[in-house]
Chains A and B, each alone.
Chain A
Amino acid sequence: MTTKKISPWKIAIIPVAMFGFGFAMVPLYDVFCDITGLNGKNFQIGLSESTGAVSAQTATLKFLSDPQSKDTWEFRPERTSLELKAGEMITTYYEISNFRDHPVVIQAVPSVAPGQWAQYLVKIECFCFNEQVIQPHSTLRMPLQVTLSAKAPEEVNHLSLSYRIYEKAETAANTDI
């Protein structure tokens, strides 16, 4: 026989590697989304050089809340829209109410549209960075500080920011918070 021999063990490396690749796709997907803005989650966080700079670029930013969150928590933005100027920081608020007898812990999950422009929205401070605790029978006024990145190209003239409220599972059982 003149043909080269191949070992089944060597071939079997491929399926094992591909199984790992399937899982590696998870962080790869995050990196990819970061670069392309595929899922509208790659808004910038915090101040950096690009946010300090000022340019003439402006964009209308609309504030939305997920309708079900609005019903369940009376979660709503204080303003529905405002004009963002690159480099200029603006503060606005969202309100959320807890009607129960015990404190609740919630996590706000943001989403930006269009996804590929999310990278030009800079959030300096956001209530979505952390879980929030809301005391019984009270309303919390949560701050949001945003600006437009100076790197935003001319066509970026509108953005929509929406939040959805998720309740953290442990609150129902845990009344000692």
Chain B
Amino acid sequence: MNRVGISAVSALLLMTASFSALADWGLNVPKGVTSVSHQVHDLHMTIFYICVVIAVIVFGVMLYSIVYHRKSRGAKASNFHESTTVEIIWTLIPLLILVGMAVPATSTLIDMYDHSDAELDVQITGYQWKWRYTYVNEQVDFFSNLSTTQEQIENQQEKGENYLLEVDNPLVLPVGTKVRFLLTAEDVIHSWWVPDLAVKKDTIPGFINEAWTKIEEPGIYRGQCTELCGAGHGYMPVVVKAVPKEEFDSWITEQSKLQAAAREVRDMSFDELMAQGEAVYKTYCAACHKVDGSGMPPVFPALKDSAIALGDITKHIDIVVNGKKGTAMAAFGGQLSVSDIASVVTYERNAWGNSKGDFATPKQIKAFKDNNK
């Protein structure tokens, strides 16, 4: 035997043996928690093993030739160079294997496309760079933002266990209920994926896609956006929290009430504005304008010592509410509540050494929106 042969055989054996070990290390498609995800996992493993067998046979023959049919071993070259019979055989056998693979694949796909008889409808909208969940019949609607801090991303803080896979408001769903998802996007194409549910669907602006799931076990299931959507593509995770039906029912009723209350306008103190403003700033603004307000000029201007934060407050409110056309500054008027906008404007005018001293109130923001939408 020789170096080539030994190293090749060992490589193959190591690779094949490691697969089962790797599955335990969480390096394989998960079995998941729905009947569809189980079917997909089984299909995946079947196809995978078929591919391994094909590879072992083909590479085995090659290895044999490399060892025994070499000139240095004195092998003499044969002259055969065609055989129609053999060509037919190795065309038909793979074809039959493929037909065998296509049958379970087809039935799994048919299952995945059966959107009927859903008990709960959830509209999912992809934004740059967060998700929005709307429970259609219950009138509950909220954004789901990455909650990992900028400090962790910039390596100033130790990274948490669910680094980049945690959000402020997860999508809460009841277990054992068929949920229909209606997916769309606000700006560019995104894609909503949760591996444990085996649901992945692109969200296309101006169009509605459908998907469904029925989660069998309570738990927290994490996924990510899987379509390049700009700078924040890696920072918009999906978190689904599956809970027993009774817990879901009480949660959604509570949410309904809370949202109705938040829509009301109330007075806030300067300290409340600053505290809420800092939180809003970190979630929505810091990725571009940086935690310390220094930004990444010229694309993302600095807010510290800036004309906008130290100038006319109406202009400042305007740019937060309406965005700035032709730049990456989105219109946050539709995404943030009036109290959030008032607080973040207040914060930007009074943080990092900016000491404008003035502040915005929720009533002011509502009036601005009513007059200037």
Contacts and interface: CB of A to CB of B under 8 A. Distances in A.
Verify whether A and B have any Cβ pair under 8 Å.
yes
Contacts of B160: none
A64 B182 contact: yes
Given A99-B369, A100-B372, A160 B182 contact: yes
B132 interface: yes
A111 interface: yes
Nearest to B207: A111
A80 B137 contact: yes
Contacts of A72: 333-334, 373
Contacts of A164: 184, 205-206
Contact of A158 (B118, B125, B134, B333): B118
A71 B334 contact: yes
A162 B182 contact: yes
B125 A114 contact: no
A40 B334 contact: no
Interface in A20-56: 39-40
Interface string B111-143: 000011110010101000000101011000100
Nearest to B121: A62
B116 A113 contact: no
A81 B137 contact: yes
A4 B184 CA distance: 56
A138 interface: no
A101 B373 CA distance: 9
Interface in B94-114: none
B206 A100 contact: no
B208 interface: yes
A109 interface: yes
Interface string B208-243: 111000000000000000000000000000000000
Contacts of B182: 64, 113, 160, 162
Given A162-B123, A162-B184, 19 more contacts: A66-B125, A68-B186, A72-B373, A80-B137, A81-B137, A99-B370, A99-B371, A99-B372, A99-B373, A100-B371, A100-B373, A109-B206, A112-B208, A113-B209, A155-B116, A157-B117, A158-B116, A158-B118, A164-B205
Q: Which 6 A-B pairs have the closest CB atoms?
A: A71-B334, A99-B373, A113-B208, A111-B208, A113-B210, A162-B208
Interface of A: 39-40, 62, 64, 66-68, 71-72, 80-81, 99-101, 109, 111-114, 155, 157-158, 160, 162, 164
